Amino acid sequence: MGHATRTWPLILAARAAGAQVTVASRGTAAAWLQERMKAADVDGEEQGQPAWSFVEKPGTEIRYAHGRRTLPTIALQMPAFLSSIAKERAWTKDIIGQRGITHVVSDNCYGAHPPKGTVPSALISHQVSPPVPTIARGVARAQVRRWAAHFSEVWIPDTGEGAMAGHLSVPPFLHPRFIGPLSRFSALDDAHAPIEEPASDGPPLVGMVSGPEPQRSLMETALLECFQRDGRPAVIFSGRPEGGERQSGAVRILHHADDHHIRRALLGASCIICRSGYTSLMDLATLGVQAVLVPTPGQPEQQYLARHWAQRWGWHHLPQAELSSFRPRDLAETPVRLPAAASQAQQLMRDWLA
């Protein structure tokens, strides 16, 4: 889902530049993208812009485990992951031929590149130096470098100093393009949508739930207990695409909400609690708000990013096991420095297509 939301401003920018866009995804991410494509089509028809299309893409899901089982669990999945890269490579070649594709942008899909020397291509990744143990770091970086060599360019959504992703975005190869953060909320402005004022009468507590099951449900339960103990009005965006909502005391749980609603709630909150996924961090930095970070258990990247943002930007973080007993009222309100987070999506895509 994070990859889907962060590529949305680039998709809109490509359309705004006059390109006809084919979006390739699958699963929940595909459903999220298609929903927004349908909504944007209404505006596009009125403006006479070219239509876009959607195709199902092959791929595999990486499953995570707890604690020391994380690396062995990921290692056992590597054969399937490498096989999926080969399938992506063949599939991308066919799609380019069938649809007359002239440019390819791949968000962390290492096999989704055109045959060398055919059409321009860009790989988006903030993990060019994967969060693996020191003993395996050299091998991992070398492999990423080999995969990245198949693309014309590498786009890193960071500032160029590792401000947001730390050592994850420090490239093991030459000449990447640092493009700044990508956020679905900047896409609202790019699409000339009305900018909401912060909700002065909105709930002071906002929780953003994400992650694979069962961790998503465990976080939702812990957040509910945390907010109920606090007693103030609160809203939890639970990240369930099926929609619906329920009320539990002063806590409203929205299973699915649009980007305008989420942005307005975040801008008006006095305390935000969410995952330390990179897409969430880019969203928060784009809005200029801070949050309490709760890494998904068993995901080394989120654990590293939570520590990095605590050390560099002074953000509070805690393990999921301590979330239900956390007291938001005890959180000291101190000024937090944030990285520069201006969106470059429109200009980047316009220049690249030109």
96-130 confidence digits (pLDDT tens)? 999 999 999 999 999 999 998 899 999 999 988 88
CATH code where residue 212 lies: 3.40.50.2000
Binned at pLDDT 50, 70 and 90, residue 160 comes out as confident
Is residue 194 situated within a structural domain?
Answer: no
Q: Are residues 111 and 255 in the same domain?
A: no
Strands (E), 20-120: 22-25, 53-56, 104-107
Is residue 107 situated within a structural domain?
Answer: yes
Q: How much of the chain exceeds pLDDT 90, in percent?
A: 47
Give the domain extent around 233: 205-330
Q: Pick the closest to residue 203 from 258, 240, 252 (CA basis).
A: 252
Residue pair 302/2 in contact by the 8 Å Cβ criterion = no
Spatial strand order of the sheet with 271-274 comes to 245-248, 251-254, 234-237, 205-208, 271-274, 292-293
Task: State whether residue 208 is helix, strand or coil.
Answer: strand
Is residue 249 situated within a structural domain?
Answer: yes
pLDDT value at residue 73: 55
Binned at pLDDT 50, 70 and 90, residue 175 comes out as confident
Q: Which residue has the higher pLDDT, 46 or 31?
A: 31
pLDDT value at residue 191: 43
pLDDT value at residue 72: 58
Is residue 188 situated within a structural domain?
Answer: no
State CA 334 to chain mean position distance. 27
CATH code where residue 122 lies: 3.40.50
Is residue 271 situated within a structural domain?
Answer: yes
Residue 321 has pLDDT above 90, yes or no: yes
The Cα–Cα gap between 240 and 265 comes to 18
Q: Are residues 322 and 347 in the same domain?
A: no
Residue pair 70/300 in contact by the 8 Å Cβ criterion = yes
Residue pair 247/253 in contact by the 8 Å Cβ criterion = yes
pLDDT value at residue 195: 44
What is the average pLDDT across 204-230? 94
pLDDT value at residue 266: 96
Q: Are residues 171 and 239 in the same domain?
A: no
Residue 135 has pLDDT above 50, yes or no: yes
Q: Are residues 217 and 326 in the same domain?
A: yes
Q: Are residues 31 and 138 in the same domain?
A: yes
Q: Please count the other Cβ atoms lying within 10 Å of the Cβ belonging to residue 199.
A: 16
Q: Name which of 71-80, 83-92, 189-198, 339-348 the model is least confident about.
A: 189-198
Count CA within 13 A, CB hemisphere, residue 347. 5
The Cα–Cα gap between 229 and 50 comes to 51
Q: Name which of 91-95, 144-148, 274-278, 342-346 the model is least confident about.
A: 342-346
Q: Name which of 163-177, 271-285, 292-306, 336-350 the model is least confident about.
A: 336-350
Q: Are residues 43 and 101 in the same domain?
A: yes
Phi/psi class of residue 164: alpha, beta or left (left: φ > 0; alpha: ψ in -120 to 50)?
alpha
Q: Name which of 54-63, 157-166, 310-319 the model is least confident about.
A: 54-63
Q: Are residues 312 and 167 in the same domain?
A: no
Residue 198 has pLDDT above 60, yes or no: no
pLDDT value at residue 331: 80
Q: Are residues 113 and 244 in the same domain?
A: no
Q: Which residue has the higher pLDDT, 170 or 309?
A: 309
Q: Are residues 162 and 212 in the same domain?
A: no
Q: Are residues 177 and 152 in the same domain?
A: yes
Residue 299 has pLDDT above 80, yes or no: yes
Binned at pLDDT 50, 70 and 90, residue 193 comes out as very low
Most confident of the ranges 14-23, 43-52, 138-147, 329-338 = 14-23
Binned at pLDDT 50, 70 and 90, residue 341 comes out as low
Quickly tell me which residue has 């809203």 as its tokens: 235
Domain count across the chain? 2
What is the average pLDDT across 133-142? 80
pLDDT value at residue 139: 84
Mean pLDDT for the chain? 84
